[in-house]
Amino acid sequence: MSSIADARHHDAEFHHHHAHAAASHHGGGHHLLTVEHLSVSFEMYDAQAPFFRAGRVLLPVLRDLTVSVHAGEVLAVVGASGSGKSVLASAIMGQFESNALVEGNIWFDGEAMDAARLAELRGRGIALVPQSVANLDPLMRVGDQIVGPTGRSTDARAAAERRRARMRELMGAYGLDAAVERLYPHELSGGMARRVLLISALIDEPRLIIADEPTPGLDLDLAVHALDDLRAFADGGGGVMLITHDIELTLRVADRVAVFHEGTVVEETPCASFASPELLTHPFTRALWHALPDRDFAPVEGESPASDAASVSVEGEGRS
Amino acid sequence: MSYLGTGSKYAAASDAAVSSVAGAFVRAWRRIPWPVRTLVRFVLLMLAVSFVTFALVAASPIDPVQANVGQTAYLTMSPERRAALAERWGAGEGLLERYGAWLFDAIRGDFGESLRFNAPVVSVVGERLASSALLLAVAWLLSGVIGFALGVVARARRGSRLDRAICGWCYLLSATPTFWLAMLALMLFAVYLGWFPVGFATPIGAGTEVSFAERLHHAVLPALTLSLTGVANVALHTREKTCEVMASDYVRFARLRGESELSIVVRHGLRNLVLPALTLECAQVSEIIGGSVLVEQVFSYPGLGQAAVTAGLGGDAPLLVGIALATATIVFAGNLAANLLYGVIDPRMRKGVAHVGA
């Protein structure tokens, strides 16, 4: 990874395969997170073949994906639902299924990562904000889950008390009543659940937050709140990778957009580029632009965002 | 209310009147306090179990007189004597008549006399149950604890040799008939090795003064045999449930928050496995009682199961009904305990609202 001398870019300056936004800067002379040429495929039995004769096939989900997150910015990874964006989130956190084949490089804060090192960073540098309350244990009180596992030793107890104090501080800051920590997940309202999930990431004081579809299921008001909270985290110097299919909403808060299509990032560009289709380079991104509300909805030959998910899966299964 | 909702949504127009009647019934039923509903269910269960048992005895080709007096005695018996015995044992009576008479007495607390044991059914069942209790309890606990542990360990080491060994062992066990396993255990441990007695609950010829250690010594082999098939059942179910829990979103999130695998299994895995384990354990009660019939027979263990075989082969309807009622009560109590414990463990059920699947 070449180190970059200047800490801040001009708007829309292009280097390292991507264009920059005003907020993007290279703290410490490097990207906060760089993913280079990442490919993930899953080895599985051929679903098309007869049951007993089915051979193993590789189902590619991510291929040659390159994307970067800078300190202080919100990068939105936008793509169709079910197209493998969550696999990207898992890969960045070093979480792989046993049948996954992974290739590529991941750098965090200038340091080359492997799966074990990425796993060490969970909760200690990189934190996940999951989609819904289903990510909380239904049988455990919310407060105990935010604080996390605690040891029995005196030191561990003291550390747990400090974490609890920090949790209460955060709950106060996000307007959650102290009684919420005694509730079970099914008792939370949508708005409370969203804040609880955010706090469970913030309590670890991460440098990078990966938000995996944080807005579906929330009404517009709550969704905007959710994104504003992520924006505030980025403004405080952290990096946010916002994984979403809602481009319209993300254009309000993100600095840059990485357009995810057929398992890879086809274009990484500042939000400002979405002002006009001429600023967008890839045909799929242009098609996406045309599909936005209040646009002309002109079909672009062979590149329909709506058929994205279907085309990926059909292509994947046909491969042997 | 959800029942009514789906009922009215899917009912065809012609069924509307029927479903509204059913709906009114369900609504009225739900308004009755829970303890009363449970009691009504219990009484209905007892009536059904006793009636079915009587019907089965009536349908059985066994003539109680012939079965109980012995071949020689039966042949040399005068026809008058035979008729007297047949009348006393209710052989020729109709099913409804017999059941009605039994029910009339049972309601007043008289469950009749056992033909084979020549004693009141209540005392025979009580005596046999006391003798079986140790066996059943040990087998039940062992199969639950060992099965649960094996299931969790198999999943925690999924795909490993240990996992495959546990699963293979369980498949083998569930495919093995209990009585055959019992005979095998008897031959190996009682006959060849001589570690355990060949049968009975107490040493042969011992009076009433039998120490607990001696009872335990006699119960070990049948109890272990009885628990073995249960172990397979519980272990395989627990493994499946553990897979489900470990693949859940909340476990994935805990992992991505940096929680160690061990901590996840202990903090989230076990917590969420308690409910299915409870269900399994309570379902296991009936399995164990069913298995005890065969195991007690092989080990000549004078318990409830063996008494059931004796009663069945002897056409001893009152005793068979008594045993059926006693075991049904135990199974009912097990399920009731599970229901009550669900509320204690699962906060989602505490307010009387089940959020199943939501």
pLDDT digits (tens, 9 = 90+) for A33-64: 888 889 888 888 887 878 777 788 888 888 88
Helix/strand/coil for A208: strand
Q: Identify the band that residue A29 occupies on the pLDDT scale cut at 50, 70 and 90.
A: low
Q: How far apart are CA A205 and CA A199, in angstroms?
A: 10
Contact A134 B249 (CB under 8 A): yes
Is there a single domain that holds both residue A121 and residue A143? no
Q: How far apart are CA B337 and CA A157, in angstroms?
A: 36
Is there a single domain that holds both residue A192 and residue A303? no
pLDDT (average), residues A254-280: 85
Contact A186 B348 (CB under 8 A): yes
Residue A122: which of B248, B258, B271 has the nearest Cβ? B258
Q: Which residues of A touch B257 (CB under 8 A)?
A: 122-123, 127-128, 148, 200, 204
Q: How far is CA A69 from the centre of its chain?
A: 10
Is there a single domain that holds both residue A80 and residue A215? yes
Chain B residue nearest residue A200, CA to CA: B257
End residue of a domain, out of A170, A189, A205: A205
Assigned token pair, A72: 């202080």
Residue A196 has pLDDT above 60, yes or no: yes
Q: Which residues of B touch A136 (CB under 8 A)?
A: 250, 253
Which homologous superfamily does the CATH classification assign to the domain defined by B131-349?
A: MetI-like (1.10.3720.10)
Contact A135 B159 (CB under 8 A): no
Q: What pLDDT is stored for residue B164 in this prediction? A: 93
Q: How many domains does chain A have?
A: 2
Contact B253 A135 (CB under 8 A): yes
Sketch the domain layout of chain B as residue ranges: 131-349
Contact A139 B271 (CB under 8 A): yes
Is there a single domain that holds both residue A147 and residue A117? no
Contact B348 A123 (CB under 8 A): no
Residue A137: which of B159, B250, B256 has the nearest Cβ? B250
Residues of B with CB under 8 A from a CB of A: 159, 248-250, 252-260, 263, 267-268, 271-272, 345-348, 355
**A218: closest CA among A240, A239, A188?**
A188
Chain B residue nearest residue A201, CA to CA: B257
pLDDT (average), residues A95-114: 85
Q: What pLDDT is stored for residue B49 in this prediction? A: 94
* Residue A133 resides in a domain: no
Q: What pLDDT is stored for residue B45 in this prediction? A: 94
pLDDT (average), residues A300-308: 49
Give me the residues paired with residue A33 across strands: A69, A108
Task: Assign residue A32 the CATH number of its domain.
Answer: 3.40.50.300
Q: What pLDDT is stored for residue A275 in this prediction? A: 78
Cβ–Cβ contact A127 with B under 8 A: yes
Going A17 to A23 to A29 to A35, the CA torsion angle's sign is negative
Residue ranges, chain B, pLDDT below 50: 1-14, 352-358
Chain B residue nearest residue A148, CA to CA: B259
Residue B358 C-alpha, separation from nearest chain A C-alpha, in angstroms: 9
Going A205 to A208 to A210 to A216, the CA torsion angle's sign is positive
Q: Which residues of B51-76 are buried (b: 16+ CB within 10 A; e: fewer)?
A: bebbeebbeeeeebbbbbbeeeebee
Contact A127 B346 (CB under 8 A): no
| Residues 129-168 (A) with a CB less than 8 A from some CB of B | 130, 132, 134-140, 148-149
Is there a single domain that holds both residue A170 and residue A195? yes
Is there a single domain that holds both residue A234 and residue A112? yes
Residue B152 C-alpha, separation from nearest chain A C-alpha, in angstroms: 18
Q: Identify the band that residue A93 occupies on the pLDDT scale cut at 50, 70 and 90.
A: confident
End residue of a domain, out of A159, A187, A205: A205
Q: What pLDDT is stored for residue A270 in this prediction? A: 87
Assigned token pair, B200: 């009975």
Q: What pLDDT is stored for residue A12 in this prediction? A: 45
Q: Answer for the pair B231, B223: CB distance below 8 angstroms, yes or no.
A: no
> What ipTM does the predicted assembly reach?
0.80
Contact A128 B256 (CB under 8 A): yes
Average pLDDT score, chain A: 80
Structural domain range at position A30 = 14-125+206-318
Chain B residue nearest residue A212, CA to CA: B253
Assigned token pair, A296: 């002309």
Is there a single domain that holds both residue A225 and residue A199? no
Model confidence, pTM: 0.74
Q: What pLDDT is stored for residue A309 in this prediction? A: 40
pLDDT digits (tens, 9 = 90+) for A207-232: 999 998 888 777 788 888 888 888 99
From the number of C-beta atoms within 10 Å of its C-beta (0-12, 13-18, 19+), residue A254 rates as: buried
Beta strands in A49-153 (DSSP E): 56-69, 74-78, 100-108, 111-113, 126-129
End residue of a domain, out of A178, A205, A232: A205
Residue A246 C-alpha, separation from nearest chain B C-alpha, in angstroms: 22
Residue A109 has pLDDT above 60, yes or no: yes
Contact B263 A149 (CB under 8 A): yes
* Residue A9 resides in a domain: no
Q: Which residues of B touch A200 (CB under 8 A)?
A: 257
**Range of weakest confidence among A140-144, A169-173, B82-86, B159-163:** B82-86
Listing DSSP states for B73-121 in one string gives HHHHS-HHHHHHHHHHTT-SS-HHHHHHHHHHHHHTT---EETTTTEEH
Give the number of beta-carbon pairs within 8 Å between A and B: 67
Is there a single domain that holds both residue A212 and residue A198? no
Which of B253, B259, B268, B273 is best to mutate for the A interface (most A CBs within 10 A)? B253
Residue A299 has pLDDT above 60, yes or no: no
**Range of weakest confidence among A140-149, A310-319, B81-90:** A310-319
Listing DSSP states for B192-221 in one string gives IS--S-SSSSS-TT--S---HHHHHHHHHH
Residue A5 has pLDDT above 60, yes or no: no
Q: Identify the band that residue A3 occupies on the pLDDT scale cut at 50, 70 and 90.
A: very low
Q: Identify the band that residue A249 occupies on the pLDDT scale cut at 50, 70 and 90.
A: confident
Is there a single domain that holds both residue A167 and residue A228? no
Cβ–Cβ contact A313 with B under 8 A: no
* Residue A131 resides in a domain: no
